[in-house]
Amino acid sequence: MEKRELTCIECPVGCRITVEVENGVAVSVTGNGCPRGKLYAENEVVSPKRVVTSTVRRYDDKMIPVKTDVPVRKSEIFAVMKKINSFVLDRKAKIGDVIVYGISDDANLVVTANID
């Protein structure tokens, strides 16, 4: 049985979590301060995911902050960044607007700040 030490990134508390892994599956999770930490740890040892944050170029060359609306598998992040880097937003968009649907799996790309 493999033991892994993680720091939960689901909130600023940053609980230190110990996960026991057997055959690629979390069989024990301790140290989490809440159920979100348990879920984070279980996913992290099987298929780690991260929210991707970046910027996209708008038609007027202004850079618009964006992020995926759900975490993306780490193995997909490079492909997502490639799409973000080649994308040009052809209109003004406000915070929360989806500008690319399905940028990866079930993740969409959303605007995170209002830029004039």
Is 115 in a helix, a strand, or coil?
coil
| H or E element at residue 105 | none
Question: Considering beta carbons, is residue 15 or 84 the nearer one to ligand SF4?
Answer: 15
Shortest Å distance, C-beta 16 to ligand SF4: 9
Amino acid making up residue 18:
T
Q: To the nearest whole angstrom, how small is the minimum distance from the Cβ of residue 20 to ligand SF4? A: 17
Give the DSSP H or E segment for 32: none
Closest distance to ligand SF4 from the beta carbon of 33 (Å) = 3
Give the residue with the Cβ less far from ligand SF4, 44 or 93.
44
Find the helix or strand (DSSP H, E) in which 104 lies: strand 98-104
Q: Least distance in Å: CB of 52 to ligand SF4? A: 20
Contact between 86 and 37 under an 8 Å Cβ cutoff? The reply is no
Residues in the site for ligand SF4, rule: CB under 6 A? 8, 10-11, 13-15, 32-34, 36-37
In the complex, residue closest to ligand SF4 by CB: 37
How far apart CA 99 and CA 48 sit, in angstroms, is: 25
